[in-house]
Amino acid sequence: MKLVSSWCYDGSLPESYVMPPETRPGKSIVPLGKSIPVIDFQHMDRNEIVEQIMKAGEEYGFFQVINHGVCEDLMEETMKVAEEFHAMPAMEKEKECSKDPNGSCKLYTSSYSYPREDFHLWRDAVTHPCLPSEECIQFWPENPTKYREVVGAYTVELRKLSCRILDLICDGLGLSNGFFSNDPYQCPKIMINHYPPCPEPSLTLGLSRHRDPSVITILLPGHVLGLQVFKDGEWIGVEPLPNAFVVNIGFLLQIISNGKLKGAEHRVVTNSRNARTTVSYFVYPSDECIIEPAKALVNSCNPAIYKAFKYIDFLTAFILKAEETDETVKELIDLDYY
Ligand SMILES: O=C(O)CCC(=O)C(=O)O
Ligand SMILES: [Fe+2]
For 150-198, what is each residue's pLDDT tens digit?
A: 999 999 999 999 999 999 999 999 999 889 988 888 899 999 999 999 9
- Please give the residue that has the higher pLDDT: either 319 or 261: 261
Contact yes or no for 47/123 (Cβ under 8 A): no
* Least confidently predicted of 10-19, 37-46, 53-62: 10-19
Task: Give the pLDDT score at 132.
Answer: 84
Instruction: Collapse the DSSP code of 279 into the 3-class scheme (helix H, G, I; strand E, B; otherwise coil) and give the result.
Output: strand
Task: Give the pLDDT score at 63.
Answer: 97
Decide: 207 in ligand 1 pocket, CB within 6 A: yes
Task: Give the pLDDT score at 139.
Answer: 97
Quick check: 49 pLDDT over 80?
yes
- Please give the residue that has the higher pLDDT: either 183 or 111: 111
Decide: 266 in ligand 1 pocket, CB within 6 A: yes
Task: Give the pLDDT score at 112.
Answer: 83
Report the interhelical angle of 72-87 vs 147-173 (nearest 10°).
Answer: 120
Going from N- to C-terminal start, the domains of the chain cover 30-295
Ligand 1 atom closest to the Cα of residue 212 is: 10
Decide: 268 in ligand 1 pocket, CB within 6 A: yes
Quick check: 320 pLDDT over 80?
no
Decide: 213 in ligand 1 pocket, CB within 6 A: no
**What contacts 102, CB < 8 A, 6 or more positions away?**
none
Question: Mean pLDDT in the chain?
Answer: 93
Task: Give the pLDDT score at 321.
Answer: 56
Closest among 166, 170, 147 to 158, alpha carbons compared: 166
Query: How far, in Å, from the CA of 64 to the mean position of ligand 2?
Result: 15
Query: Stretch 104-128: mean pLDDT, rounded?
Result: 93
Decide: 278 in ligand 1 pocket, CB within 6 A: yes
Distance CA 106, CA 98 (A): 8
Closest among 187, 313, 333 to 254, alpha carbons compared: 333
Decide: 226 in ligand 1 pocket, CB within 6 A: yes
Q: How high is the ipTM of this complex?
A: 0.99
Whole-angstrom CA distances from 35 to 134, 236, 240, 306 are: 42, 9, 11, 30
* Least confidently predicted of 36-40, 110-114, 301-305: 110-114
End-to-end CA distance of the chain: 38
* Least confidently predicted of 69-78, 104-113, 163-172: 104-113
Nearest residue (by CA) to ligand 1, atom 10, is 212
Task: Give the pLDDT score at 323.
Answer: 55
Please write the tens of the pLDDT for every residue from 202-239: 999 999 999 999 999 999 999 999 999 999 999 999 99
Query: How far, in Å, from the CA of 294 to the mean position of ligand 1?
Result: 27
Nearest residue (by CA) to ligand 1, atom 6, is 280
Domain 30-295 has CATH 2.60.120.330: yes
**pLDDT-above-70 percentage for the chain:** 97
Task: Give the pLDDT score at 9.
Answer: 78
Query: How far, in Å, from the CA of 321 to the mean position of ligand 2?
Result: 16
Please write the tens of the pLDDT for every residue from 250-277: 999 999 999 999 998 999 999 999 999 9
Nearest residue (by CA) to ligand 1, atom 2, is 227
Query: Stretch 126-130: mean pLDDT, rounded?
Result: 97
Decide: 247 in ligand 1 pocket, CB within 6 A: no
**pLDDT-above-90 percentage for the chain:** 81
Task: Give the pLDDT score at 324.
Answer: 59
